[in-house]
Amino acid sequence: METNTLILPKPKRQIFILSGQSNMAGRGGVVRAADRKYWDGLLPPECSPHPSILRLAANLQWEPANEPLHVDIDAGKVCGVGPGMAFVNALRPRVGDEVGLVPCAVGGTAIREWARGEKLYENMVKRAKESMKGQENCEMKALLWYQGERDSQSEEDAAAYKVNMETFIHNVRQDLDFPSLPIIQVALGSGFEFIEKVREAQKAVDLPNVVYVDAKGLQLKEDNLHLTTESQVQLGRMLAEAYLTHFHASPIGNETQF
């Protein structure tokens, strides 16, 4: 007797790049002791692993995603909770597909270090391209970008931020052959003397499919620079809301604040 076997289509893998500096890499739950720093290991339920969530490790192999997502990428620092897992877990009920995260953020970096030809930029592009290899049913969905604290230390760097950020976006889109790649940037919630100049520059970026969420007001750790674990969870939800609102159905190209 013949039986018909139902073959279900393989779910799509939706790819998200996570890039920038330390608050994207994650310092939530990182404790500074007298002789060392360490992650406290406390994992909010919003950051829990799930079989459908993968991450591209430093060796360019896919593996189950767990916090800290940037442990082998921002390898010179102690990494903790960032916004990435909370972002994906907030998306899952709406997306329904497999999600691949591509961590690329490195703490303490200025935007000039993310210029085309620089090591950080070229590594990010290489990792993004590698994430699409050998995957017939995958889609690059967005770049999440949280960077700028370093550039708020200098008036000259802050003044150049808008041009540098727009150049970065043009270059990434060109090098990934994705001219409409959605970009969600985070307007700084902390920084140094010229933070407002950088925030103004971030909000003034006027390119299609670029939106921002605002981290101003999110709770900071005692260093007044890095987001707490709870704030990282909140930021992840904000990023998910921005993605679902602007890019999940029909992208729109105007800057919008959340």
Q: Are strands 183-187 and 138-146 parallel, antiparallel or unpaired?
A: parallel
Is 170 noted as a catalytic residue in this protein? no
Give residue for tokens 């981290």: 215
Q: Which of 22, 52, 131, 231 is catalytic?
A: 22
- Check: CB of residue 201 under 8 Å from CB of residue 210: no
CB proximity list for 154: less than 8 A, separation 6 or greater: 194
- Check: CB of residue 95 under 8 Å from CB of residue 127: no
- Check: CB of residue 246 under 8 Å from CB of residue 256: yes
Is 70 noted as a catalytic residue in this protein? no
Q: Which of 40, 72, 206, 223 is catalytic?
A: 223
Partners of 64 in the β-ladder: 54
Q: Which of 74, 157, 190, 226 is catalytic?
A: 226
Q: Extract the tokens encoding 102.
A: 């591509």
Is 226 noted as a catalytic residue in this protein? yes
DSSP state of 79: -
Active-site residues: which are they? 22, 223, 226
